[in-house]
Structure 1
Amino acid sequence: MTNAASLDRRSFMAASLLSVGLAQQSLAQTVVPAVPGGALPPGLPQPTETIDLWPNGAPGMPAKALTETVLERSTDRLVTDRAVYGITAPRMAVFRPDRPNGAAVLITPGGGYKWVVVDKEGYEMGRWLAARGFTAFVLFYRLPGEGWAAGPDVALSDAQRAIRLIRHRARDFAVDPERVSAMGFSAGGHLCADLATRFAAKTYEPIDAADALSAKPHSAAPIYPVISMTAPDAHPGSRALLVGKSATPAQEAAHSAHRNVPKDAPPFFLLHAEDDDAVPVNNTLLLRAALKKKAIRAETHLFEFGGHGFGLRKAIGKPVEVWPDLWRAWARTTGLAL
């Protein structure tokens, strides 16, 4: 009995020390972007756990100092619509499910590479995924127009590093390292497609053991994505910030996902509304054609109406509102959602 009691005390002490260690590790991370003094709507859980991508600071800091700034674009106190720019500590906000299904999804919100949308294409999707067993990681990536040394590859560097870190820490999240997928929206859809086609590109120097792991996602879901950097299909704002207004044809091709599909690309789920007045639907059609040419699995859904940037909230009441369930059903066929 004494031995058992001692063992129980030792187990309790070990668990307590582990909890303290994890808490200290969590406290050491950069907090999620927040509007100073901004009131948050009741009942919507906000992420408290984050993972910094670069423990010694992000590489290639701009010559001109950046200040992380969060804007609240909503006038409705019950619906937040935040956007962040000037990101110098790229990081992931974590949404843990109550019952993990072993799959993870890296979410890359949109924002035209001008900023990163927090709620509409980030946290709202993170909550939806976590409620269905997926561990979701919302990525706050660096922006290519803010002077980073990596230039147009800076966001891809963060996405590659994020996938590798999720795999490296898979046990911490009850995640199968082989089932780490990617989902992105608009310009974040470009980043998602860029990751899923140029996962093997060397965009930064390795810094630790995580960087020995693959950055290839299990599968990819670019939603109403920016794909082409060439007119007339290119989204002008994203193109200007990513490759510059005077980009050469070679520079455009280097950052147009449909021009860079490898033979070992992962399966893709593609979704677009045909009345999208910001990012032409042909972006998705170009990517689909390139994937089919390489015999890569690609499921494509086109909706007559939906516009751009519908995410979850703006899809309600329209036929396009079924898209998350379509993705989930497709994910089962890939082995992501078992």
Structure 2
Amino acid sequence: MTRAGFADPVETIELWPQGAPGNLDADRIEQVVERSIDTSVRDRALSGISNPRMLVVRARQPNGGAIVIIPGGGYRHIVVDKEGLETARWASENGLTAFVLFHRLPGEGWADRADVPSRDAQRAVRLARHHSDRLGFDPARIAMIGFSAGGHVAAEATVNAANTPAPIDAADREDCTPACTALLYPVISMHEPLAHAGSRLLLLGERPTASAESAHSPDRNVTDKAPPFFLAHAEDDSAVSVQNTLAMRDALMAKRIGVETHLFAEGGHGFGMRRIDRGTLSLWPQMLLAWMKEHGVA
């Protein structure tokens, strides 16, 4: 059992059973660092990911929906508990089959580094749909949620569905676009000064071209094929400017894509489902659940 009193999920789906493509570092070592100083709460950070995968958390009372969860971590690591497993347990309690994605990190020695996180996310949606019969949910009723840099992954994976490699197996013939996508305090723009500097550096390198910045700024790549989006951000976020969310909202509205936006006066960055014990911020999971019901997922 974890220190929070929940059993960690034991069911795993590997994204690339024959090995993740483009590996330039055969000596990469996976590491898990416990960052919490509170013995009752876990806060693990995962890095060195050579075997990208999803942890499966089955719905307690399935309603036929599912969700792919992409935690944040600034592309330096992946936040396992606060934005990953805690979100999955919430989803499970509300009838959704949850998949927590541990994607490749772009600064850890991968060819096409800027594409590997979103490619992993697209592969995750395809694999989830491929396993939907076995796991007992409707493949059409799958959402995606991303937090912080995970929000950037989710946004890119959703709006760049046409930019995917050739299929390698039966799962790759599934649609990679979720029915709807939620972004929590997301990194969006790769253009200075709006860009989150650490995420931009790890994704694009030290001297990215203007074309690379635009190619990996989801607000610059929204088409009228995008699904509905749910956006939430605290206006006092000092790590990722709320202007990222506003830029994404404006881009979606310009293409007449359904978008629901919630801005909170206070909350800072990285609140997830843990730091929401005050005011209207505490309501965001209920808002998301209601929105997913409106869009036929939950």
Specify which of 249, 254, 257 is matched with residue 288 of structure 1: 249
CA distance in 1, matches of 2:241, 2:274: 21
Task: Indicate yes or no: 2:123 matched with 1:161.
Answer: yes
Asked if structure 2 preserves the Cα contact closer than 8 Å seen for 1:107 and 1:139, the reply is yes
Q: Unaligned regions of 5+ residues in structure 1, if any?
A: 1-38
CA distance in 1, matches of 2:191, 2:268: 21
CA distance in 1, matches of 2:206, 2:196: 11
Moved more, 119-128 or 40-49: 40-49
Secondary structure of residue in 1 paired with 2:143: strand
Specify which of 124, 138, 149 is matched with residue 100 of structure 2: 138
- Residue aligning to 2:50: 88
CA positional deviation for 1:315: 1.4
The residue type equivalent to 1:187 in the other structure is A
- Residue aligning to 2:10: 48
Asked if structure 1 preserves the Cα contact closer than 8 Å seen for 2:64 and 2:137, the reply is yes
> TM-score, structure 1 length as denominator?
0.86
Runs of at least 4 residues off by over 4 Å? none
CA positional deviation for 1:64: 5.2
CA positional deviation for 1:195: 1.2
Asked if structure 2 preserves the Cα contact closer than 8 Å seen for 1:306 and 1:318, the reply is no
1:73-152 aligned at under 5 Å gives the runs 73-152=35-114
CA distance in 1, matches of 2:145, 2:271: 15
CA distance in 1, matches of 2:266, 2:171: 42
Asked if structure 1 preserves the Cα contact closer than 8 Å seen for 2:56 and 2:100, the reply is yes
1:187-206 aligned at under 5 Å gives the runs 187-202=149-164, 204-206=165-167
CA distance in 2, matches of 1:140, 1:150: 18
CA distance in 2, matches of 1:100, 1:92: 19
Q: What number of residue pairs does the alignment pair up?
A: 298
Q: Deviations over 1:123-162 (max 9, x none)?
A: 0000000001000000000001111112100011111111
- Residue aligning to 2:172: 211
CA positional deviation for 1:99: 1.3
CA distance in 2, matches of 1:80, 1:122: 11
Task: Indicate yes or no: 2:217 matched with 1:239.
Answer: no
CA distance in 2, matches of 1:283, 1:245: 21
Q: Rg: which structure is higher?
A: 1
Secondary structure of residue in 2 paired with 1:50: strand
Change (3 A) 1:305 1:136: same
CA distance in 1, matches of 2:112, 2:32: 23
Secondary structure of residue in 1 paired with 2:107: helix
CA distance in 2, matches of 1:69, 1:133: 32
Asked if structure 1 preserves the Cα contact closer than 8 Å seen for 2:105 and 2:117, the reply is yes
Task: Indicate yes or no: 2:212 matched with 1:223.
Answer: no
CA distance in 1, matches of 2:281, 2:60: 28
CA positional deviation for 1:248: 1.2
Alignment RMSD = 1.1
Secondary structure of residue in 1 paired with 2:19: coil
Asked if structure 1 preserves the Cα contact closer than 8 Å seen for 2:4 and 2:42, the reply is no
Change (3 A) 1:185 1:42: closer
Residue identity over aligned pairs, in percent, reads: 53
Q: Deviations over 1:177-203 (max 9, x none)?
A: 11111001000010111111112212x
Asked if structure 2 preserves the Cα contact closer than 8 Å seen for 1:227 and 1:287, the reply is yes
> TM-score, structure 2 length as denominator?
0.98
